[in-house]
Structures are given as C-alpha cells and as structure tokens.
C-alpha cells in the first residue's frame, strides 16, 4: 500500500486534505517519517486514526448522507404527488398526451427515490422514509383543489420541479469530495429541469390553464402566475454571474435571468417542502 | 501553448516528495480559486502566447478549472453560432411561437458564450470556426434535429464535467447553466415529438440523464467544428 498515492487520490477530491490532517507542515513531515519506519501492517491503523481526526466532526460521510436524505425527501414529495395525481380519475385529461407525460415524470421520481435509498443504505446510513399520507398537497389549504383542478395540479407541479432544480444545484458544492455522488446528483438535476420545462409548456396550453406568458425557462423572479409560490423563485432575478453583470454584455434583463438558473439553500428548500409535510 | 502562468509553480530541486507536491497543488488552488477577477489579473502579460493558440495541435483548452471553463466556452460557442444562423435565416414557415422560443435560446447561448469570454478574459481560447455544412437551415427537421443533438450533448457534457471542477464557485456556475440547457433540450424534443422531453433515449432506468467525458463530447462535436480542439491537458 502506498500512503502517498492514497493521499494524492484524496487530494484530487479534497484539496484541503493536508490542512485537515494537520495544519502544520512540520507535523505532517513527522507523520511520514514515522510512517516509513513502522511495519507495513501497522500503516492502515495509523491511517485510519489520521482520517478519523481529519474528518471526524464535519466528516464527508455525514455531509453526503445529509444531502442525500434531503434529496430523498424531495423525491418522495414529488413521487407521491404524481402518483396521486395520476391515480385520480378525471384530473388529467383522459386520452391526451398529458397522461403519458405525468406517468413519465412519476416514474422518474420513483426511480430517484429508489436510487437515493440504495445510495444512502450503501453508505451504511438510514434513508428517511415517507408514506403518501404524510404529505398534504393542499399546503394546509393554500391549494384546496390540487387534485380536482388540472391547472392547479400543474401549477403545484411546476413549483415542485423548479424547486427540485434549485435544490440539487444548491447542494452540488457539498458533494465535491465525492465525485461519484456529485455526478449522480447532477444527472438527477438535469432531469428535474427537463420536467420543469415540459410542465411549463403544459401550463401554457389552454387545457393546462393557458398561462400564455410562461416559458420553459424562468424569466425574472416568480413568473408562475401563482403569488403563493414566491419563495420558490426567490433570487431567480439575479443578473450577476461570477462578478459579471450579464446585462452589461448587451443582453436584456429577461435573457440574463433566463440564461442562468439560481440555487436555493437547504434551509430555503426545507421551508418550501415543509409547507407540504404534515407535522 | 500552455497557460503556464496558472500552472503550479515548480519548486526547484526539492525532489518530488509529498510536501512539495502539496505545496504545488495549494499554490495552484490559491490562484484558481481566487475568483474570476483574480484569474484575469494573473493572466495579464500572457497575451503574446495567445497568438500561437491555433497552431500545431489545435486550440489548447488548457488545464485545471480553466481548461474545463474553456471546454464549456467551446461548446457554448458552437451552440451560439448555430442558433444565430437559425434565427438569421429561419426555416420555411417557422411558426411565431417557434421563432420566439428559438430566439430566446439563441440569446441564452449568446449570453453563456459572452459570459465565459468575459470571465476567462485573456485565458479564453480564441473564437472557433464552425462547420455547419451538414445542416440544412431551410429544413425544420434538420434544424431541430441538430438542436436536439447539441442540447442533449451540452447537458451530458456539463453533467460529466462537474466532478472535474475543483472550485465550488465554478461548479455552481456550471450548475446554473446546465439546467437551462436541459430546459432547452426538453423543449426542442417536445417540438420534434411532444412528450419526448425526457424519454428513454436520454434518461436511463434509474431516472438519470446522460453524463459524458470531455473526450466523448468533443469526439461528437468535432464534426461541427473546423478548428481542431486539443483537450489533452484537461483533468480526467
């Protein structure tokens, strides 16, 4: 076993590993001098204690588990929503393309639930668990017709999808230490964006509510026509990316905000999701 | 020509022990993580080298995060040039709603391109020469079919590049762009065939979109780009 190689591998995903291990370079050197003198068999033990120290309190595994359970909660929220919608007779216009679209989205959310459960279990952690009954899709009466009025159902769907996109985006930075998990999260993230794009088109159609101004992308802040979901779009009107004001490059405010989706923090997303979870 | 000023600084004659290695990496990160303005500053004085970019083995994207940003910039250049051509000569009887949507997409891709150009400043690769000889811009099928390829490819490119980015700031920027590309991809697919926004062509059994390596993406994109792109220094 080559400890230098291992450290270099970790360094690729966690640039601060040396800082975590010991901020003082002299002490690091001491460790390697020590390592070269002990028997090979003893190295894993020394290595184990070194990493425990480095990652002990704010360890990578804990953070990743937290992100994955956060994502799993959102996927449950979405899955049961579409499952219930698809199973409600008369809600989605029978014989229309909407039936297939909602089924497709439902199946993706179910696949995400299963994938995340497996990933969390694989980390040796416990996935959160929800039943359909634990969700209140009227959001305590805000959307009383969510499962009886098709346009309302789609309006809530749009809020969920756009929230999902923003939620995954906000967590990407917390997954840099685990490239495989990061990539999977990104692969879910873009699927949620595809869903959002389609749901927005469905709402634009006359049967879906005829929200004619709506585009597949987010224009300005809350473009949904539903003031109750303002928190879902908070900050989407941002014009500045990486210190560059996009309008200064010759683009309209609308184009500048549409071209870049914005993240939400875990707390902001939890506040939104919390409206739909029974206490 | 390599972007030598943002490469790790060589420490003379200290051998390749781990302490030196860590120092080199740290000094690189210090520069790379300094933010976009910092990159521009460090890059000052490098202009002379830029002229040789397009010679020999083609345009070198560079290494590290700058390499990945240039990789994204290259793809945005391709998309922006394509949609600019689409709007310049719309296919026959393009419906008003399609013209509006495709004009929006053009503006988004131009914004992405101009953003990368501004952010990368003198570390940016030069303008690429495109090759659209295989596209029939007067045909809706050809235009939307190509748009579908570009958008799905763009999504898979960002999905695959995320884990190669070291800076959380750049990763977030890539995240802000990729979901917009995915919105485009879904719309273009729906224009071609309603309901195909996320079908099994692009989404697997686990509900995951595609992720491709830079090598895979550039192999697919190169037939549309006249300029040879050298991605050999990109992280993998």
Query: What tokens appear for B195 in the block?
Result: 């309901």
pLDDT score, position A46: 39
| ipTM for the whole complex | 0.80
- Position B43 in a domain: no
Q: Reduced to 3 states, what is the DSSP secondary structure of residue A229?
A: helix
Chain A residues within an 8 Å CB radius of B168? 172-173, 176
Examine residue B99 and state whether it is found in any structural domain, yes or no: yes
Interchain proximity B173–A105, CB inside 8 Å = no
When pLDDT is cut at 50, 70 and 90, the band that residue B164 belongs to is very high
Give the minimum alpha-carbon distance from A65 to chain B in angstroms, rounded to a whole number. Answer: 18
pLDDT digits (tens, 9 = 90+) for A175-185: 999 999 999 99
- Distance from the Cα of B138 to chain A's closest Cα (Å) equals 25
Judge whether B115 lies within some domain.
yes
Instruction: Give me the mean pLDDT over the B20-25 stretch.
Output: 35
Q: Which residues of A touch B163 (CB under 8 A)?
A: 179-180, 182-183
Q: Which domain holds residue B156?
A: 59-230
> Per the structure, how many domains does chain B have?
1
What pLDDT shows up at residue B56?
Answer: 54
Of A191, A244, A246, the CB nearest to B198: A191
Is A260's CB within 8 Å of B186's CB? no
DSSP one-letter code for A232? G
Q: List, as one string, the DSSP characters of B163-178.
A: GG---HHHHHHHHHHH
Domains assigned to chain A: 3-55 (no CATH), 60-274 (1.20.1260.10)
Contact A190 B160 (CB under 8 A): no
CB A190 within 8 A of CB A260: no
Q: In chain A, what residues touch B18 (CB-CB under 8 Å)?
A: 4, 7-8, 28, 32
- Residue A279: pLDDT band (50, 70, 90) is confident
B26 within domain boundaries: no
Report the CATH number at residue B205: 1.20.1260.10
Q: What is the mean pLDDT of residues A91-119?
A: 98
Per-position DSSP letters for B36-97, written without gaps between them: HHHHHHHHTT-HHHHGGGGSTT-EE--SHHHHHHHHHHHHHHHHHHHHHHHHHSPPTT--HH
B193: nearest CA in chain A?
A97
* Tens digit of each residue's pLDDT (9 = 90 or more) over B83-138: 999 999 999 999 999 999 999 999 999 999 999 999 999 999 999 999 999 999 99
Q: Is residue B118 part of a domain?
A: yes
Residue B46 in domain: no
* Cβ within 8 Å, pair B175-A169: yes
Q: What pLDDT does B57 receive?
A: 73
Å between A162 CA and nearest CA of chain B = 10
Q: At B52, is the pLDDT very low, low, confident or very high (cuts 50, 70, 90)?
A: very low
Comparison of pLDDT for A9 and A109, the residue scoring more: A109
B63 lies in some domain: yes
Residue B44 located in a structural domain: no
Least confident of A13-17, A272-276, B48-52, B74-78: B48-52
Helices B140-161/B214-221 angle, 10° precision: 160
């Amino acid at each position: 076993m080559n400890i230098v190689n291992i450290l270099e591998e970790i360094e690729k995903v966690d640039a601060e590993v040396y800082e975590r291990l010991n901020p003082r370079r002299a002490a690091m050197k001491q460790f390697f001098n020590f390592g070269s003198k002990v028997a090979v068999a003893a190295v894993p033990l020394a290595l184990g204690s070194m990493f425990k120290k480095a990652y002990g309190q704010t360890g990578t595994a804990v953070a990743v588990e937290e992100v994955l359970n956060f994502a799993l909660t959102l996927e449950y929220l979405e899955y049961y929503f579409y499952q219930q919608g698809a199973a409600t007779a008369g809600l989605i216009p029978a014989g229309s393309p909407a039936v297939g679209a909602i089924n497709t989205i439902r199946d993706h959310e179910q696949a995400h639930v299963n994938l995340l459960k497996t990933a969390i279990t694989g980390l040796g952690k416990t996935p959160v668990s929800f039943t359909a009954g634990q969700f209140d899709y009227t959001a305590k009466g805000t959307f009383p017709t969510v499962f009886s009025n098709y346009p309302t159902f789609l309006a809530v769907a749009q809020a969920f999808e756009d929230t999902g996109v923003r939620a995954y985006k906000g967590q990407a930075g917390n997954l840099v230490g685990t490239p495989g998990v990061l990539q999977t999260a990104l692969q879910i993230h873009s699927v949620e964006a595809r869903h959002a794009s389609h749901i927005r088109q469905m709402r634009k159609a006359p049967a879906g509510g005829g929200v004619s101004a709506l585009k597949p992308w987010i224009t300005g802040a809350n473009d949904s026509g539903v003031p109750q979901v303002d928190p879902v779009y908070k900050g989407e009107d941002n014009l500045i990316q990486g210190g560059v004001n996009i309008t200064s490059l010759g683009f309209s405010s609308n184009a500048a905000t549409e071209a870049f989706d914005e993240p939400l923090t875990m707390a902001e997303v939890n506040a939104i999701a919390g409206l739909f979870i029974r206490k | 020509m390599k972007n030598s000023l943002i490469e790790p600084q060589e420490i003379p004659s200290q051998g390749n022990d781990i302490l030196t290695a860590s120092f080199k990496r740290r000094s690189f990160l210090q520069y790379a993580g300094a933010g976009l303005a910092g990159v521009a500053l460090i890059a000052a004085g490098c202009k002379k080298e830029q002229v040789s970019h397009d010679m020999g083995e083609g345009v070198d994207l560079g290494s590290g995060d700058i390499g990945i940003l240039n990789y994204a910039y290259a793809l945005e250049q391709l998309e922006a040039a394509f949609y600019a051509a689409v709007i310049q000569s719309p296919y026959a009887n393009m419906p008003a709603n399609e013209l509006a949507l495709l004009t929006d997409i053009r503006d988004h891709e131009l914004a992405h391109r101009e953003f990368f150009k501004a952010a990368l400043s003198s570390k940016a690769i030069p303008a690429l020469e495109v090759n659209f000889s295989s596209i029939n811009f007067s045909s809706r099928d050809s235009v939307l079919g190509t748009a579908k390829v570009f958008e799905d490819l763009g999504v898979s490119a960002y999905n695959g590049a995320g884990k190669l980015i070291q800076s959380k700031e750049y990763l977030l920027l890539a995240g802000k762009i990729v979901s917009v590309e995915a919105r485009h991809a879904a719309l273009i697919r729906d224009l071609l065939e309603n309901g195909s926004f996320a079908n099994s062509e692009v989404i697997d059994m686990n509900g995951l979109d595609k992720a491709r390596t830079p090598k895979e993406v550039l192999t697919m994109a190169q037939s549309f780009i006249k300029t040879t792109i050298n991605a050999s220094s990109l992280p993998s």
